[in-house]
Amino acid sequence: MVDMISKKDIKLIKSLGQKKYRQQLGLFVVEGKKAIDEFLDSDFELDRLFATAPIFDMGFTQITSKELVKISQLKTPNNALAMFRIPEIKVERVKGLALALDTIRDPGNLGTIIRLCDWYGIENLICSKTTVDCYNPKVVQATMGSLTRVKLQYLDLEDYLQASNLEIFGTFMDGTNIYTKTLPEQGIIVMGNEANGISERIGKLIDKKLSIPRFGTYKATESLNVAMATAVILSEFKRGQPVSK
């Protein structure tokens, strides 16, 4: 039997596409069974679960495909949608290797960077307050579940870096060729805004400037996409380190 989803629920779910309502209500949306399963297997607390068929071994509200279209943020809705509670994150001093983001605006870039942190074992992702919200539906979708395994902190990045006792690295066009450097197993790597790079005030706090050299003959490409650059940087920092089993 298919349950009816109320107009109140539809309005609530659609409102979570906006940051202010996610913050007010403490809720965010996850879509698709695979992604939802990742969150169900994590410490995130489920609020409501909707699906078009009995595909979960737990209580859920069964809805029609047409109703799913009404509440989905996707152009092609999957078979399920869930609301989870936004956890309270305590600001902590990180150890080992961490990544910091200075005003990353694009949801797809942030989602990919979160996946990269998961892949390379970066447990802590420090975000400036001007970085896109990690609970934005497009970010959540792009993380493919990696959001459940990476700790994100939103804070005043300048204050945080000033108080840190770790070495701070940053990516710049005029930095030292990263392929010529011996890189440590701990520190904070700062990645800058898609259009403007690392801001001047954050740049003053960088201990070592790094660059990814261009090998192309024509040198016509101005820069790498920030998510692509993050992949290269993390790969070099992790080179030679033992892989956890």
Q: Tens digit of pLDDT for each residue in 156-202?
A: 999 999 999 999 999 998 999 999 999 999 999 999 999 999 999 99
Q: Give the global pTM.
A: 0.93
Q: Say how far apart CA 236 and CA 116 lie, in whole Å.
A: 13
Query: Judging by beta carbons within 10 Å of its beta carbon (0-12, 13-18, 19+), is residue 61 exposed, middle or buried?
Result: middle
Q: Which two tokens stand for residue 234?
A: 């993390």
Tell the residue number behind the tokens 């300048």, with chain if given.
158
Question: Does the pLDDT value for residue 2 go beyond 80?
Answer: no
Q: Give me the DSSP letters along 144-171.
A: TTGGGTSEEEEE-HHHHHHH--S-EEEE
How many residues are there in the chain? Answer: 245
Poorest-pLDDT segment among 26-30, 149-153, 215-219: 215-219
Long-range CB contact pairs, 4-7, < 8 A, 24+ = 5/50, 5/61, 5/63, 5/67, 5/70, 5/71
| Domains, the chain, with CATH or none | 7-85 (3.30.1330.30), 97-238 (3.40.1280.10)
Dihedral, 122, 124, 130, 133 alpha carbons, nearest 10: 90
Q: Say how far apart CA 10 and CA 225 lie, in whole Å.
A: 36
Q: Which two tokens stand for residue 219?
A: 């040198």
Q: How far is CA 39 from CA 26, 46, 116, 213, 216, in A?
A: 16, 8, 18, 38, 42
Q: Which two tokens stand for residue 157?
A: 């990045």
**Mean pLDDT on 216-228:** 79
Q: Tens digit of pLDDT for each residue in 53-100?
A: 999 999 999 999 999 999 999 988 889 999 999 998 877 778 899 999
Q: Which two tokens stand for residue 49?
A: 């679960």
Cβ atoms of 223 and 232 closer than 8 Å: no
